[in-house]
């Protein structure tokens, strides 16, 4: 099939992601404590993770026949096998399991389509808020909520600097705080006041995509399914996601599924490189 991503395909993926979110909410809204198991890598997993996976994986396999699905909650093929994939889905059925267990609402359903290492379509659905961020190469990015759908885009740095407005940085609620504090001090020394927002899951990238934050430094480990969907949204909104060498973050390039540290940048024309790489 033609590899150009259509709006029809994006809408279909949104609908599948919303269904997965509904399955998550059934567990989330049930009375009593959420039962938690521990996987071999010591990460938590719940019935909601598995319920979302059971909706997403078969639906995506049927949506585009012949395109494999790589899921955090599925079987992990060897790199000898998946390294041959030019096109595949990568999904995190419930990104932010720790936030889900805390019942703070900051968790998402992540679905991305990867072509030759690049995320070309992404959907990030927030079940508790019934908000969906979505985007695709050549289609732009959108935010959909109960009131409708709006296009979203990253914001420029220069007007904020000229108006002496704080540079908004978003960071993980749980990881890498010391390194982020050091970076914030450096940014403040160069650009002036900063504001810090702490948040879980892929929502951090989506804040950059919709122009509510300027920078998200991730200076702690993540896996490829944590970032691919939101990276597609950020890039469709005009931003960029680069690794700690300022190279574009790419997927399925090595045996390990761990990402390098990375930066999510809204205004790609601003010289962040000289400030972040020291």
Could you tell me which residues are annotated as the binding site for substrate? 72, 94-97, 226
Annotated binding site: 72, 92, 94-97, 226
Decide: 98 and 106 in contact? Cβ < 8 Å. Answer: no
Annotated binding site for Mg(2+): 72, 92, 94-95, 226
């Amino acid at each position: 099939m033609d590899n150009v991503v259509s709006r029809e395909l994006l809408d279909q993926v949104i609908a599948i992601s919303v269904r997965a979110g509904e399955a998550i909410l059934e567990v989330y809204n049930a009375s009593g404590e959420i039962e938690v198991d521990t996987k071999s890598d010591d990460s938590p997993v719940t019935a909601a993770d598995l319920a979302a996976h059971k909706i997403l994986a078969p639906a995506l396999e049927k949506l585009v026949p012949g395109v494999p699905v790589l899921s955090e909650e599925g079987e992990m093929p060897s790199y000898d096998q998946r390294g041959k994939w030019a096109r595949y889905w990568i999904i995190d059925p419930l990104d932010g399991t720790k936030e889900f267990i805390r019942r703070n609402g900051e968790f998402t359903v992540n679905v991305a389509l990867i072509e030759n290492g690049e995320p070309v379509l992404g959907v990030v659905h927030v079940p508790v808020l019934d908000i969906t961020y979505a985007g695709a190469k050549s289609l732009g990015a959108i935010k959909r909520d109960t009131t409708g759908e709006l296009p979203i885009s990253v914001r420029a740095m220069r007007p904020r600097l000229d108006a002496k407005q704080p540079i908004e940085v978003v960071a993980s609620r749980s990881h890498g705080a010391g390194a982020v504090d050091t970076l914030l001090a450096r940014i403040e020394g160069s650009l002036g006041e900063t504001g810090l927002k702490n948040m879980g899951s892929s929502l951090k990238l989506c804040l950059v995509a919709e122009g509510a934050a300027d920078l998200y430094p991730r200076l702690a480990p993540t896996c490829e399914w944590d970032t691919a969907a939101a990276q597609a949204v950020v890039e469709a909104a005009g931003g960029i996601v680069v690794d700690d060498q300022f190279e574009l973050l790419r997927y399925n390039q090595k045996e390990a599924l761990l990402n390098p540290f990375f930066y999510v940048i809204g205004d790609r024309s601003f010289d962040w490189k000289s400030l972040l790489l020291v």
